[in-house]
Structure formats: C-alpha cells, structure tokens
Amino acid sequence: MATINYLIKGEKNATNILLRFKNGRKCDLTATTDLKVEPKKWSAAKQKVKLTADDTTKDEVNQKLSELEKFIFDEFNSDNSKGEFIDKHWLRKKIANFFNRPIDETAVDQIFFIPFIDTFIKNAPTRIIKGKNKAIAKGTITKYNTTLNKLKEYEERFKTKLKFTDLDLTFYDRFINFLSQEQKINLGTIGNYIGTVKTIARDAKLKGLPVHPHIEHPNFFVPKITADSIYLKDEEINKIFNHDFKGVERLENTRDLFIIGLRTGLRISDFLRLKDANIKNGYIEIETQKTGQTVTIPLHKQVKAILEKRNGFPRAISDQKFNEHVKELCRVAKFTELTQGSKINKDTKRKEEGIFEKWELVSSHICRRSFATNLYGKLDNLTIMGVTGHQTETQFLKYIKITNTEKAEKLKDYWNKQNEEQDIEEKKMKIVK
C-alpha cells in the first residue's frame, strides 16, 4: 500500500519540506517540494505546520501539502495501472507538474528540447546499445546532429524555442511542412528526422521530463516511402560477371567489388573492407559495422573465382567512387531498359521520382536487395536473415522486391513441380498393378 509522509532536515533556518513516497519494500522515494518551513514551527506528528505558529502562511502551506498528497496518490494510481515506471524521476516530475515548474529551473536541457539534444549527442559515444554490447555507431551520431541542425533551422524560421511541452501534433505538422514545402526535402529523409525526434524525446520522457503526450500519438508517426524496387536477377549478375570490360581497370575492379557485394548481401560499409583475414575455412566471416553482428557467409563460386584471379580481394575504393563506377559499368553492360525509380538530381541535389534507364538507378544498395530477393522462396527466411543480419522478418521483407508477376511465376513453378511429382507417383502405381 502506498503511503506519503512529509519531513524536514535542519534545526535552525527555514528549510524545504520533503515528500517521502513509499510503496512496498522496494519503492522508497524522497523529493523536495517548493514549500519551506522553520523547523520549530513544524509538527512531525501531524505532518504540517503547527496551527499555533505565528506564521501568516501556515494555512496556505498546509493546504498545499494536503492538495499535493492527493495529487501524488491520484497520479500514482493512474500511472501504476498503465505500467509506468515509478522512480525518483517520476516523483520529481509529478511534484514539478503540481507546482507548474520545470524539474530544474537552472538546467535548460530539462526545459528546452535543443539543449537536451546537445547533451544527448555529447553522451552518445559512451552509451552502449542494449542487447548488442556495442557503442552507438558514428553514422547514428551523425544522424542525430543532422536532425539537431534542422530543428535549429526550424526555431530560427518560426522565432521560437522548443520546449518538451511543445512536441505536440501542431509542431509535428508544422515541422513536416517546413521540411517538405520550404526545404524541399523528400519524404524518406523527413521520416529519418521524425524518427530521431521521437527517439530523443522518448529518452527525455524516461528521464522524467515533461514531454508532450502527443509524441506517442498515432498521428505523430514516422513517414516512410517504399524503398527503390530495382534489383538484379541472377542472369543479370552473371552478365556483369562475364562481361568483357576491355581491360579498363576501374571498371574491372568495381565489377569484382560489385559481384562480391551481390553474392554476399553485405552492406557497402562491410564488403569494401573485406580482407584475407575474413576468409576462414571457405567462409567469409565479418563483424558488421552498422549492427556489430558477426555474420558468416559461404564463398559463392564467382567470389572464389575473383579471389583466385586477384590472389585476394579487389582494391578498395570510396563509397562515392564505387557508386559512380557501378553506374558506368552497368551502362557499358547495356542495362538500358526503362524502369520506374528515383535518383539524385545533380543540379538540385535532391532525389526525384521518374522513369530512367536501369543503369541510372543502380547503387550500392542494390547488392543487398538483390541477394535477399534472389534467395527469397528458395531458402527459408530465417536462413537468409542469418546471412544478411536482419534482426526481424519485417526488416528483411522490406528488401524483397519481386513483382506480383514474379510471385505468380513462383507459384506456377511450384504447382508444375507438384504436378510432375504426382504424375510420377501415378505411373508407379500403374506399373505395380
């Protein structure tokens, strides 16, 4: 059963009245209130200022203590029934809410969102990702900083300072409109910004800060766009592998890197840093840079051929050079069929939707997508996920880009195989008779 007691510390000067909240043996919390009293005027037995005290504020203080007690009990009953975590931060927050003040008036990062993000980013390198025993990746911290800069631009545009209590649906709509209409940012990137806002706001909420409840509202969602749908079929990959690039070294080197990416399903951040030490007993073994997972991948015959030809892995190049060269080699290999997709406009530096020749849409992302799509339906999903490192089937299925017609063809092939097996069984039965 929950109980509340008031107590003071000190014997001479006016001191803060402390609230002690207990609920069972494991929950014993104490936090200061905004109320003060001289120790000689305090009745520990009655938990209030002595009625005989020569103090004109005693009635007001006692009234506040009574109202605060009821408020804390009501909040506890409500939050406890919802499964909220009741700790010192919860108690501090509730008392602050009762007195209509921030938790710490001297700490701007407990009032305003931008200073909190600054602190969040500063502490990010020392945080360990739960369940992975790994520090936050540099790319993730870069994403935090990019979102921070956009929020600063938003504040400058609207001449405001965002508080935690401002993170409501009105802010959500205005921020998205600012990014999409004024800054012409595509929906996928906007989704990244909103996702980061929610991540950091939830961290603030866990720390007991007064984040607006709309942050969890269904309409405060992360916008998403369908990932680029193109991938390379096995026959297209074989075409690249066998193509004669006339001794053009940058294309041959990129082709070999491309084949390794296509036949391993690794991200570019991983397959560009493969070394001989990653080959163990006929398998590629590597700790992925993004997730920290160790994945083990058998050597495809085309990868084996590349390693034998070069006596090791191809020369590593930058991500930018890879994406430039891989488009060129796909153009040379005549991947010119008109395809719906999106690409970066070099003039505007923004992604644009349209119909382009297929080679124009090729980038490093196609490696992982092609690997997963080509194996889908041939192996069970969990086996493929074990190689790609996807942690959930939902994440994995985003990479599967076969068309409805291709799905129908898979079903047709399955039925044909089933019919063939049935015909064989029927022939066997006739022979037996």
Give the pLDDT of residue 353. 74
Check pLDDT > 80 for residue 394.
no
Task: Give residue 16's pLDDT.
Answer: 85
Residue 19 has pLDDT above 90, yes or no: yes
pLDDT, tens only, 275-284: 999 999 989 9
Q: Are strands 2-8 and 294-298 parallel, antiparallel or unpaired?
A: unpaired
Structure tokens at 349: 């530096």
pLDDT (0 to 100) of residue 292: 79
The confidence score (pLDDT) of residue 427 equals 64
Q: Tell me, what's the pLDDT at 429?
A: 65
User: Which has more pLDDT, 322 or 294?
Assistant: 322
pLDDT of residue 108: 65
Confidence of residue 381 (pLDDT cuts 50, 70, 90): confident
pLDDT at 428: 62
Burial 344-358 (b: 16+ CB within 10 A, else e): eeeeeeebeeeebbb
Q: Tens digit of pLDDT for each residue in 150-182?
A: 999 999 998 888 988 899 999 999 999 999 889
Rg of the Cα trace of the chain?
Answer: 31
- Pairwise CA distance, residues 368 & 263, whole Å: 9
- What is the per-residue pLDDT for 330? 95
C-alpha 39/C-alpha 17 separation (Å) is 10
Bridge partners of 351, per DSSP, are 344
Q: What confidence tier does 138 reach under pLDDT thresholds 50, 70, 90?
A: confident
Greater confidence, 220 or 291? 220
pLDDT single digits (tens) 203-229: 998 888 888 999 999 999 998 765 456
- Cβ-contact 319, 356 below 8 angstroms: no
pTM to 2 decimals?
0.54
Q: What's the pLDDT score for residue 226?
A: 58
- The pLDDT of residue 83 is 81
Question: Residue 267: what pLDDT?
Answer: 92
pLDDT(400) > 60:
yes
Confidence at 133, pLDDT banded by 50, 70, 90: low
Residue 340 has what pLDDT?
79
pLDDT for 243-264, tens place per residue? 999 999 999 999 999 999 999 9
Over 90: is that where the pLDDT of 74 sits? yes
φ/ψ of 23, rounded to 5, equals -145, 95
Whether the per-residue pLDDT at 289 is higher than 70: the answer is yes
148 pLDDT band (50/70/90 cuts)? very high
Q: List the alpha helices (DSSP H) in 211-295.
A: 234-242, 249-264, 268-271
| pLDDT higher than threshold 90 for residue 236 | yes
Residue with token string 């192996």: 379
Position 359 pLDDT exceeds 70: yes
Mean pLDDT, rounded, for 301-313: 96
Kind plus residue range of the DSSP H or E element containing 94: helix 88-98
Whether 409 shows a pLDDT value over 80: the answer reads no
**Across 68-77, 106-115, 340-349, 395-404, least confident range:** 395-404
Contact 253, 324 (CB under 8 A): no
pLDDT score of 410 more than 70: no
pLDDT digits (tens, 9 = 90+) for 1-15: 889 999 988 776 778
Quick one: three-class SS letters along 29-42?
EEEEEEEEECHHHE
Residue 426 has pLDDT above 80, yes or no: no
